[in-house]
Homo-oligomer: A and B are copies of this chain.
Amino acid sequence: MKALVLFSGGLDSTTCLALAVSKHGAENVIALSVFYGQSHDKEIRCAKQIAEYYGVQFKTLDLAEIFSDSDCSLLSKSESDIPKESYAEQLKKTDGKPVSTYVPFRNGLFLASAASIALSNECEFIYYGAHSDDAAGNAYPDCSVDFNNAMNEAIYLGSGKQLRIEAPFVELNKADVVRIGTELKAPYKLTWSCYEGGDKPCGRCATCIDRIAAFKANGLTDPLMEV
């Protein structure tokens, strides 16, 4: 049975890819990376390297046009700065709204695109790496369990019952993701999570903060932060 993995080249989706490869075999896995107008292409270059590492088919898709009217701070055309603080700090100021790095309905759009591509490639599953830390406090509402259940139902019914979502971490946190990936020997040294695109992660944006903490919770050092 074939599977398509939504694959950014970050920590969560690399763990997801490791899991899909262990279950389905590399020859039955397609990794899909979506460009959506990020300010750098470092993630996608990392994604390509990791796909090669696993020997899976690698596809890319450019959906930047869809976000041309968005003022999300992650996008290259945005005038807002990417916040240098944790999601918890940011959420104190958003009045229950998503954080400024929320890309409008990104996971919904990526899953729907993945569904169309998966159906054309005889895949029965779409994997993605949403986890509960990202959903907390409505930071990224398209990472929540309830969103995932609804989107899974939409894809299952809208595909004529041919396709389902697998979201193996949706009820787990990022520390759990690192634990699972470490057991699967995921090549974390090749990944990129930082919202900036430098040579080394900034260590100060929310995703760097979360990632460093998730390794620490497992008694590990993030391999990208090693000197």
A residues within 8 Å of B by Cβ? 61-62, 65-71, 96-98, 102-109, 111-113, 115-117, 119-121, 138, 141-142, 144, 146-147, 150-151, 153-155, 157-161, 163
Contact = CB atoms under 8 A, between A and B. Distances in A.
Given A104-B120, A151-B158, 15 more contacts: A66-B113, A69-B120, A69-B121, A70-B116, A102-B160, A103-B116, A104-B159, A106-B116, A108-B115, A108-B116, A109-B112, A142-B158, A146-B153, A146-B157, A154-B154
A109 B61 CA distance: 14
Interface of A is mostly: helix
B147 A66 contact: no
Most chain B beta carbons < 10 A, residue from A67, A98, A112: A112
Contacts of A154: 108, 147, 150-151, 153-154
Contacts of A105: 112, 115-116, 119, 155, 158-159, 163
A106 B120 CA distance: 12
Nearest to A107: B158
Contacts of A115: 104-105, 108-109
A71 B111 contact: no
A190 B109 CA distance: 31
A63 to B, nearest CB: 8
A62 B160 CA distance: 25
Given A61-B65, A121-B69, A141 B158 contact: yes
5 contacts: A66-B116, A70-B120, A109-B115, A112-B113, A142-B158
Nearest to A30: B69
Contacts of A141: 157-161
Contacts of A113: 66, 109, 112
A217 to B, nearest CB: 28
